[in-house]
Chains A and B, each alone.
Chain A
């Protein structure tokens, strides 16, 4: 739009100048508000314990220190294990979720499937009505025995109906003629799905796959519900971070294992260093992946 408004080759009007000034100011202030918490955490993680205890957290640290990171990496086992759990859950969950979702989406988008509306509604209904947390919790723990298992971290967010509908609308955009010619060549539905439909909606798969992966990476809720305190070996990264932040025992346990006396553990900056370490991969990948997410949001907006 911006370029179009200037086609008239008018001199730049006063309204445009005022508008640009307002835009730059408002957008800069809002961006700064979004950036500030990250900068505070980053600078806090590079502060040393005593200056935090005396002055508090500041945007520019009083004294620069790497103590928090050094202590954190002195006992890397817990952190690495949490990373391992999260990576395993994210990779497995994303692969299975994308596979199951795209297969179902292929069938629901196929105009020759007679029950597509009924089955679509079968999936859709779960997003507008649910039995609530308690029956779900009891069913998962008492009857499916998900307690203290990795399935509890994968299964609950494996299928997301919104993503199913997004992929379905991608698949519906594939011309039926392509399916027909494959069918004439003797291909069955699964082959057509794998060889024709999947390659043609790569962009959709990438977008939905990244959303699923993000959900797994950021999940701590299922760990909170289904993992006991004793099973910290199954803790995913975000839940491990949650415990470091909210439970003083978690820091004390880390201190005991590092061999440092509790008084020498930089507990305050360590909490923030842990936050940085847990968020790092997302910050590093974000610039490359952002465009897929933008695409996903845009489709969601247009096709609801």
Chain B
């Protein structure tokens, strides 16, 4: 009779130490991820603090209507996707270039120093990056304007100038992430079979031919996979970056607001719960579908690297 118990319960009993060892991490994940997931019902409710998540009245799709009719839905979605695409393209090109240059370079100390210097920005907080932006671009004292004035040129006021922000943000993203990706692609280049290069040398191939016909094809799978995986996160804006770099500046929100900053600002400043939940659900649903799509594509190209 005892052996015919449900296999799960039986495992729970036999492997109770293993299950106990999983417990702390599982509790954190349940509290921080799974229970809040239940809160997505908020997107269909009008939240009031007194009644809580489950007591507040249902309002159907009103929150979504509000979000889409505000005109913000389109602009923040557009910004999120376009910025992510731009970051992806610029960063990938820079990362691959640096990785190839570093891999072929002979000078050991030069290699080590440049790689360390370029990797370093990855380790500092976005608050510190915010200080960099202030230090460089502040209208009155910023180093950029000091420099422009010393040349007798007009200082730029970036805080009311929408056109410069895409460039600043792309530059900051590269500053923070190029080193990280370079290390990654460098590892991928090091995995290429060294015999290919020796054979190419014997055939009299020059540097460019080796890069074109060995290195680039060699890292192609990594590039393709990282690109596809990036599609899965294209709806997620880098909140910390946008918040700190733009300083939440109201003058240029049209071109700097992404879904994540919009949601956080509405939550903290307007205490707008229903509409922000709707925006959040819209974002996580699309993100989820995109991850599934990306995974399907990876499975097709490189089945070994599929996420699940």
B59 CB within 8 Å of chain A = no
Q: Is the CB of A134 within 8 A of B127?
A: no
- Looking at A20, A56, A119, A268, the one whose CB has the most chain B CB atoms below 10 A away is A56
Interchain CB contact under 8 A, A22 and B283: no
> With A132-B280, A135-B40, A159-B29 known to touch, is A27 a contact of B98 (CB < 8 Å)?
yes
Known: A57-B141, A129-B284. A135 touches B42 (CB 8 A): yes
Contact between A129 and B197 (Cβ–Cβ < 8 Å)?
no
Within the complex, what minimum Cβ distance (angstroms) separates A52 from chain B? 5
**B224 sits at the interface (CB 8 A):** no
Cβ B247 vs Cβ A246 within 8 A: yes
A271 and B134 contact, CB distance less than 8 A: yes
> Judging by beta carbons under 8 Å apart, are A138 and B39 in contact?
yes
Q: Does B37 contact A (CB under 8 A)?
A: yes
Identify the closest chain B residue to A289 (Cβ): B123
Interface size on B, residues (CB 8 A): 118
Question: If the complex has contacts A5-B210, A107-B21, are A56 and B201 also in contact, measured as CB distance less than 8 A?
Answer: no
Q: Are A58 and B143 in contact (CB under 8 A)?
A: yes
Q: How far is the CA of A125 from the CA of B129 in the complex (A)?
A: 32
Q: Are B22 and A57 within 8 A (Cβ)?
A: no
Within 8 A of B (CB), among A1-47: 1-8, 10, 13, 15-16, 19-20, 22-24, 26-28, 30-31, 33-35, 37, 40-41, 44
Interface string of B1-43 (1 = CB under 8 A from A): 0000001100100010111011011101101111111111010
Chain B residues within CB distance 8 Å of chain A: 7-8, 11, 15, 17-19, 21-22, 24-26, 28-29, 31-40, 42, 47, 49, 52-53, 94, 97-98, 101-106, 110, 113-114, 116-132, 134-136, 138, 140-143, 145-146, 149, 175, 178-180, 183-185, 187-192, 194, 197-198, 201-202, 206-208, 210, 222, 225, 229, 232, 239-240, 244, 247, 260, 263-264, 267-268, 273, 276-277, 279-281, 283-284, 287-288, 291, 305, 307-308
Closest 3 CB pairs of A and B: A135-B39, A132-B280, A56-B146
Q: A57-B135, A224-B268 are in contact. List 13 more A-B contacts (CB 8 A).
A: A5-B210, A6-B106, A27-B101, A41-B135, A57-B146, A121-B308, A132-B40, A135-B42, A135-B53, A218-B126, A238-B127, A245-B134, A302-B187
Chain A: residues with CB nearer than 8 A to chain B? 1-8, 10, 13, 15-16, 19-20, 22-24, 26-28, 30-31, 33-35, 37, 40-41, 44, 52-53, 55-59, 99-101, 103-104, 106-108, 110, 113-115, 119, 121-124, 126, 128-140, 142-144, 155-156, 158-159, 161, 164, 188-190, 193, 214, 217-221, 224-225, 238-239, 241-242, 245-246, 268, 271-272, 275, 278-279, 282, 286-287, 290, 293-294, 297-298, 300-302, 304
